[in-house]
Structure formats: C-alpha cells, structure tokens
Structure 1
Amino acid sequence: MPTLTKLYSMHEASQHNTKNDCWIVIDGKVYDVSTYLDDHPGGDDVLLEVTGKDAKEAFEDAGHSQDARELMETFCIGELESSMPELPELKISTNKEPANLAQRLKDIPVQYWAVPVAVVGVSLITGFFYLRRK
C-alpha cells in the first residue's frame, strides 16, 4: 500500500523559519531540519540563512556528497504543492477621483496651473492688441 505524501505550500514552508522550527525546500521536497542544525558540518547559520525558502541553489552550490543527500532524505516531511505560486494579496484603493472637471481642477495645486493660465492670458491680450492695430 503506497504511503501518502503530505503536500505543503511555499507559504506554509516559509512560516517555519526559526532555529526551533526550521524547514527548507529543495527540488520540490520539504525538509524539517530543526533537529539537524547542531550537527550540520557547515554550521547552523548556513541552514538558517535559507530556512523557509527554496534552498536548491545553495544546496547545489555547496557540492554535497551522496551520503549527505541520503541523510537529507531522513528529514523529508513532504512535497511542495505543484500548483501555481501564491500571489501576494492585492489591496484595492478606495480613493475616488472627483467626478467632474471643475472639481478636479480645484484639487490641482496653484503651482501647476498658474503659469500656463498666465501664459495663455498674456498671449490672448497680445493677440487682441496686435489685431486691433491692423
């Protein structure tokens, strides 16, 4: 009879990120290495650096032996869910824009509309006097 494999989400694995509760993920498998921290040849800080994260790159870069890989299997507690990665929750802004143009213009600070209005005003007055001379 096949044994059932426990599935964990990456979010769930990331919650186990302390010295007393240390999980790592390598190649889609979840490992609880809490009891191995003191025995790890590279020191516990190496494991704590990748706890609650995908540690595949760090594991492969260290060049572990076949014995280390076999020992690692004793700490396997399940597999990572193969579903899509969890997306962060989006927050929807409740700020509503003013409905009409007049209100939107009132909300714009004076420094943004005073100079363009002055330029248009001077242009109109200059144009009016120029046309009046003809």
Structure 2
Amino acid sequence: MPTLTKLYSMEEAATHNKQDDCWLVIDGKVYDVTSYMDDHPGGDDVLLAATGKDATDEFEDAGHSKSARELMEKYFIGELDEEETCVQEIPELKIFKKDQNFMDLTKQYWIVPVSIITVSIAVSVLFSRKK
C-alpha cells in the first residue's frame, strides 16, 4: 500500500522559521530540520537564513556531500504543493483597454496648438491697433 505524502504550502513552510521550529524547502520537498540545528556544520544561522523561500540554490551552492543528501531524508516531512505555489507566484494579468477611436485622439491633440495660435493672433491684433 503506497504511503501518501503530505503537501505543504510555501506560506505554511515559511511560518516555521525559528530556532525551535525550522523547516526548509529544497527541490520541492519540505524538511523539518529543527532537531538538526545544533549539529549543522555551517551553523544554525545558515539554516535560518534559508527559511521562508525555496532554498534549493543555497543548498546546491554549498556543495553538500552525498552523505549530507542522504541525511536529509531523515528530516523529510512532505512536499511543496506545486499547484498552489504556481498560482500564488504568477499574478493574474489584467489588461485594460480604453475604447477610443482615432478621431477622438486627433481632436484631443489639436486643441492645445490651435488654442495657442488663436491667443497669439488675438494678442498681436490688439497690440497692432494701439500703434
């Protein structure tokens, strides 16, 4: 009989970010490393800095040995819920289209220059009459 793997959201995993309650997400798997904090060769602050996000890159960059990777299985508690993560990471794209035809835009952009020319002509006519 196959065992069911528990699924966790990234938000749930991120709440476990303390010395006495620490979870990591690496390669889509969730690990409870609370009992390993004092034994970690890099120190507990390295583990704490990797909480609340996908720590796969940090784990790979550290160059962990095969035995370290085997030791991880001891702390495995479940997997990241990929469907929920994908929905949360990609916001819905909203496109707003204002219905406006070309003639409306043309009228809108001609108002300012025509107004300036009209005011200029009126001012020049008034000054020419005074002379």
Cα contact 1:24–1:51 (8 A) shared by 2: yes
Contact in 2 for aligned 1:31/1:75 (Cα 8 Å):
yes
Shift of 1:126: 1.7
Distance in 1 between residues matched to 2:33 and 2:25, nearest whole Å:
10
For residues 19-73 of structure 1, the C-alpha deviation after alignment (integer angstroms, 9 at most, x for no partner) is: 1111110000000101100000111111011012211111101111111000001
The alpha-carbon deviation at position 127 of structure 1 amounts to 3.4
Shift of 1:12: 1.1
In structure 2, relative to structure 1, the CA distance for the partners of 1:30 and 1:67 (3 Å cut) is same
Whole-angstrom distance in 2 between the partners of 1:124 and 1:17: 73
| Amino acid in structure 2 at the alignment position of 1:28 | G
Match of 1:65 in 2: 65
**Aligned residues with identical type, % of pairs:** 62
* Structure 2: runs of 5 or more not aligned: 92-115
Aligned-partner Cα distance in 2 for 1:14–1:130: 75
* Structure 1 equivalent of residue 9 of structure 2: 9
Which residue number in structure 2 is paired with residue 56 of structure 1? Answer: 56
1:48-127 matches, cutoff 5 A: 48-83=48-83, 84-87=86-89, 123=120, 126-127=123-124
Letter in 2 for 1:86: Q
Shift of 1:123: 4.1
Aligned length: 106
Say which structure is richer in helix. Answer: 2
TM-score by length of 2: 0.69
